[in-house]
Structure 1
Amino acid sequence: MLLTPIYIAMTFIKTWRIRSFRARLLEFLSGNTSVAFCKVPENAAETPTLSSKLCTNPKNAYLCDLLDYTNASRICSMKPTQCIEINDWVTCAGGLPLGSSDISPVTDLDVEVLFECEMEPHEGSSHHDIISLESMGQPVAWKAGSHLAIVLKTNIEHLSVVGFHFIGGEFIIDHKLPVVRIQTVQISGEPNKAADVSMRGLRSDIQQGLKQLPELFQWSVHAALLRKLSKVVDIKSDIRNTTVEMNGGTDQVMDTTPVKRTVTLADVSTITTKSLSPDEEFDEPVETIKVDENVKVQEKSPEKKSKEKSEEKGKELVVENVTVEIQHNITPKKSSLKLDLRKGTSQLSTSLLNISSQIKSVTTHKRIISTSGPKKTQPQIDKIPEIKEENKNKCSSPQSTSKSLKSSRPLVNTKSPNILIYSDSIVARDNLEASLRKVLDCDRYTLYSVSRDSLEAGAWRGRAALVAVAGCVGRCAPLLLAHLLDGGRLLALCSDLLHTVLPYYKTAEVRENEIVQFSYDKWKSVKMKHHIFCYQASPAKKQFSTESDRQPSKYTGHPGHEMDIQILASEETWRTPSLLQATDAINNGIAIFSQIHLEADPSDYLGEEGMISNEARLGILHKIMGDILGLHVKDPKEICNLDYTMGYFLGNHVHKLSLVDGWCPPAEEGTRVQKLDKLTIQWCMRGEEPIEPPSATFLPVCLYECPENFSTVEYFDNLTSVSMGRLVVYADVIESTTHVVGGGTLAHGVAAVARRQLAARGRAGNAWLTPPGQAAVSLQIWRKMSPTLSLIQHAAALAVVRAVRTDPAYEHLDIRIKWPNDIYYGRDVKIGGVITSASCLDDDVILHIGTGVNISNSVPTTCVNDIIFEYNKERGTNLASISIEKFLARYCSQLERILDYIDTEGGLETFLEQYYQYWLHDQEEIRVKSKDSDTPIEGTITGVDEAGWLRVRTRGQEIKVAPDGNTFDIMSGLIAPKL
Structure 2
Amino acid sequence: MLFTPIYIAMTFIKTWRIRSFRARLLEFLNGNTSVAFCKVPENAAETPTLSSKLCTNPKNAYLCDLLDYTNATRICSMKPTQCIEISDWVSCAGGLPLGSSEQSPITDLNVDVLFECEMDPHENTGQDIIMLESMGQPVAWKAGSHLAIVLKTNIEHLSVIGFNFIGGEFVIDHCLPVVRIQTVQLSGEPNKASDPSMRSLRSDIQYSLKQPVGQFQWPVHAALLRKLSKVVDIKSDTKNTIQMNGSSGDLVLEAPPVKRTVTLADVSVNTGKSLSGEDIEKPEEAKPTEPADALEDKEVVVENVTVEIQHNITPKKSSLKLDLKKGTSQLSTSLLNISSQIKSVTTHKRIVSTTGPKRPQSQIDCYPVREETARGSTSQQSTPKSVKSSRPLVNTKSPNVLIYSDSLVARDNLEASLRKVLDCDRYTLYVVSRSALEAGAWRGRAALVAVAGCVGRAAPLLLAHLLAGGRLLALCSDLLHSVLPYYKTAEVRENEIVQFNYDKWNSVKMKHHIFCYQASPAKKQFSTESDRQPSKYTGHPGHELDIQVLASEETWRTPSLLQATDLTNSGIAIFSQIHLEADPSDYLGEEGIKSNEARLGIIHKILGDILGLHVKEPQELNQIDYTRGFFLGNHVHKLRLVETCPVSAGARLQQLGELTVQWCLRGEEPQQPPSATFLPVHVYECPEHFSTVEYFDNLTTTSLGRLVVYADVMSTTMHVTSALLAHGVGAVARRQAAGRGRAGNMWIAPPGQAAMSLQVWLTISPCLPLVQHAAALAAVRAIRSQPTYEHLDIRIKWPNDIYFGREVKIGGTITTANCIGEDVYVNIGTGVNISNSVPTTCVNDIITDHNRQHGASLAPMSIEKFLARYCSQLERILEYMATDGGIDAFLEQYYQYWLHTGEAIRVKSEADASPVDGTIKGLDEAGWLVVSTANGDVRVAPDGNTFDMMSGLVAPKL
TM-score range, shorter chain: 0.5 to 0.7
Q: Which residue of 2 aligns with 1:694?
A: 674
Q: Which residue of 2 aligns with 1:900?
A: 879
Q: Which residue of 1 aligns with 2:747?
A: 768
Give the match's secondary structure for 2:869: helix
Q: CA deviation at 1:480?
A: 2.6
Whether the 8 Å contact between 2:630 and 2:687 is mirrored in structure 1 is yes
Whether the 8 Å contact between 1:378 and 1:913 is mirrored in structure 2 is no
More displaced 10-residue stretch of structure 1: 938-947 or 914-923? 938-947
Whether the 8 Å contact between 2:248 and 2:314 is mirrored in structure 1 is no
1:249 matched to 2:288? The reply is yes
Identify the match of residue 651 of structure 2 among 671, 674, 682.
671
Identify the match of residue 961 of structure 1 among 920, 924, 940.
940
- Cα separation, partners in 2 of 1:591 and 1:910, compared to 1, 3 Å: same
Q: CA deviation at 1:727?
A: 0.6
Separation in 2 of the partners of 1:932 and 1:453?
A: 10
Q: CA deviation at 1:247?
A: 5.5
Separation in 2 of the partners of 1:253 and 1:946?
A: 41
Whether the 8 Å contact between 1:422 and 1:452 is mirrored in structure 2 is yes
Whether the 8 Å contact between 1:774 and 1:853 is mirrored in structure 2 is yes
Give the match's secondary structure for 1:386: coil
- Cα separation, partners in 2 of 1:268 and 1:883, compared to 1, 3 Å: same
More displaced 10-residue stretch of structure 1: 928-937 or 787-796? 928-937
Q: CA deviation at 1:728?
A: 0.6
Q: Give the unaligned 5+ runs of structure 1.
A: 1-55, 63-185, 195-240, 292-328, 335-357
Separation in 2 of the partners of 1:405 and 1:363?
A: 11
Q: Which residue of 1 aligns with 2:440?
A: 458
Q: Which residue of 2 aligns with 1:732?
A: 712
Whether the 8 Å contact between 1:61 and 1:359 is mirrored in structure 2 is no
1:946 matched to 2:918? The reply is no
Separation in 2 of the partners of 1:635 and 1:282?
A: 45
Separation in 1 of the partners of 2:820 and 2:941?
A: 25
Whether the 8 Å contact between 2:629 and 2:679 is mirrored in structure 1 is yes
Whether the 8 Å contact between 2:699 and 2:868 is mirrored in structure 1 is yes
Q: Which residue of 2 aligns with 1:386?
A: 369
1:877 matched to 2:849? The reply is no
CA shift digits 1:786-825 (9 cap, x unpaired):
1111111111111111111111132221111112211111
CA shift digits 1:241-261 (9 cap, x unpaired):
9996625533444666688x9
Q: CA deviation at 1:903?
A: 1.6
Identify the match of residue 918 of structure 1 among 881, 897, 909.
897
Q: Which residue of 1 aligns with 2:112?
A: none
1:368 matched to 2:345? The reply is no
Give the match's secondary structure for 1:583: strand
Give the match's secondary structure for 1:701: strand
> Counterparts of 1:53-64 in structure 2 under 5 Å?
60=60
- Cα separation, partners in 2 of 1:949 and 1:376, compared to 1, 3 Å: farther
Whether the 8 Å contact between 1:489 and 1:589 is mirrored in structure 2 is yes
Separation in 1 of the partners of 2:699 and 2:914?
A: 51
Q: Which residue of 1 aligns with 2:845?
A: 866
Whether the 8 Å contact between 1:370 and 1:923 is mirrored in structure 2 is no
Separation in 1 of the partners of 2:747 and 2:733?
A: 13
Q: CA deviation at 1:495?
A: 1.7
Give the match's secondary structure for 1:659: helix
Separation in 2 of the partners of 1:272 and 1:845?
A: 55
1:600 matched to 2:639? The reply is no
Q: Which residue of 1 aligns with 2:761?
A: 782
Q: CA deviation at 1:285?
A: 8.5
Q: CA deviation at 1:970?
A: 4.3
CA shift digits 1:641-688 (9 cap, x unpaired):
2211111111112211211222x2112x22111122211111122222
Q: CA deviation at 1:637?
A: 3.3
Q: Which residue of 1 aligns with 2:619?
A: 637
CA shift digits 1:889-926 (9 cap, x unpaired):
00001100111111212322322222122122222122
- Cα separation, partners in 2 of 1:488 and 1:818, compared to 1, 3 Å: same
Q: CA deviation at 1:549?
A: 4.9
Q: Which residue of 2 aligns with 1:517?
A: 499
1:445 matched to 2:480? The reply is no
Identify the match of residue 467 of structure 2 among 485, 492, 496.
485
- Cα separation, partners in 2 of 1:653 and 1:57, compared to 1, 3 Å: farther
Whether the 8 Å contact between 1:244 and 1:253 is mirrored in structure 2 is no
- Give the aligned residue type for 1:635: E
Q: Which residue of 2 aligns with 1:546?
A: 528
Q: Which residue of 2 aligns with 1:708?
A: 688
CA shift digits 1:378-413 (9 cap, x unpaired):
3344542225872452265x885332234699xx97
Q: Which residue of 1 aligns with 2:697?
A: 717
Separation in 2 of the partners of 1:275 and 1:916?
A: 37
Separation in 1 of the partners of 2:307 and 2:778?
A: 30
Whether the 8 Å contact between 1:373 and 1:942 is mirrored in structure 2 is no
Whether the 8 Å contact between 2:776 and 2:796 is mirrored in structure 1 is yes
Whether the 8 Å contact between 1:270 and 1:289 is mirrored in structure 2 is no
Separation in 1 of the partners of 2:679 and 2:757?
A: 16
Q: CA deviation at 1:768?
A: 0.7
> Counterparts of 1:323-334 in structure 2 under 5 Å?
none
Q: CA deviation at 1:636?
A: 2.3
Separation in 2 of the partners of 1:556 and 1:613?
A: 36
Identify the match of residue 621 of structure 1 among 603, 619, 631.
603
Aligned length: 682
Separation in 2 of the partners of 1:258 and 1:958?
A: 28
- Cα separation, partners in 2 of 1:937 and 1:255, compared to 1, 3 Å: farther
CA shift digits 1:744-785 (9 cap, x unpaired):
111111111111111112111111110110000011111111
Q: Give the unaligned 5+ runs of structure 2.
A: 1-55, 63-240, 250-279, 325-334
- Give the aligned residue type for 2:401: I
Give the match's secondary structure for 1:941: strand
How much identity, in percent, do the aligned residues show?
70
- Cα separation, partners in 2 of 1:880 and 1:726, compared to 1, 3 Å: same
> Counterparts of 1:497-512 in structure 2 under 5 Å?
497-512=479-494
Separation in 1 of the partners of 2:849 and 2:58?
A: 25
Give the match's secondary structure for 1:526: strand
> Counterparts of 1:815-834 in structure 2 under 5 Å?
815-834=794-813
Q: CA deviation at 1:888?
A: 0.3
Give the match's secondary structure for 1:748: coil
Whether the 8 Å contact between 1:494 and 1:531 is mirrored in structure 2 is yes
Give the match's secondary structure for 2:595: helix
Give the match's secondary structure for 2:779: helix
Give the match's secondary structure for 1:268: coil
- Cα separation, partners in 2 of 1:382 and 1:622, compared to 1, 3 Å: closer
Whether the 8 Å contact between 1:930 and 1:936 is mirrored in structure 2 is yes
Whether the 8 Å contact between 1:794 and 1:820 is mirrored in structure 2 is yes
Give the match's secondary structure for 1:916: helix
- Give the aligned residue type for 1:821: N
Whether the 8 Å contact between 2:634 and 2:707 is mirrored in structure 1 is yes
Whether the 8 Å contact between 1:748 and 1:782 is mirrored in structure 2 is yes
- Cα separation, partners in 2 of 1:389 and 1:853, compared to 1, 3 Å: closer
1:268 matched to 2:310? The reply is no
Separation in 1 of the partners of 2:838 and 2:592?
A: 35
Whether the 8 Å contact between 2:487 and 2:519 is mirrored in structure 1 is yes
More displaced 10-residue stretch of structure 1: 907-916 or 895-904? 907-916
Separation in 2 of the partners of 1:600 and 1:330?
A: 50
Q: Which residue of 2 aligns with 1:937?
A: 916
Q: CA deviation at 1:438?
A: 1.9
- Cα separation, partners in 2 of 1:389 and 1:671, compared to 1, 3 Å: closer
- Give the aligned residue type for 2:802: I
Identify the match of residue 815 of structure 2 among 836, 860, 867.
836
> Counterparts of 1:465-480 in structure 2 under 5 Å?
465-480=447-462
Separation in 1 of the partners of 2:924 and 2:480?
A: 49
Q: CA deviation at 1:371?
A: 5.6
> Counterparts of 1:305-454 in structure 2 under 5 Å?
365-370=348-353, 377-381=360-364, 383-386=366-369, 390-391=373-374, 393-394=376-377, 401-406=383-388, 415-454=397-436
1:569 matched to 2:551? The reply is yes
Give the match's secondary structure for 1:771: coil
Separation in 1 of the partners of 2:748 and 2:734?
A: 12
Whether the 8 Å contact between 2:549 and 2:561 is mirrored in structure 1 is yes
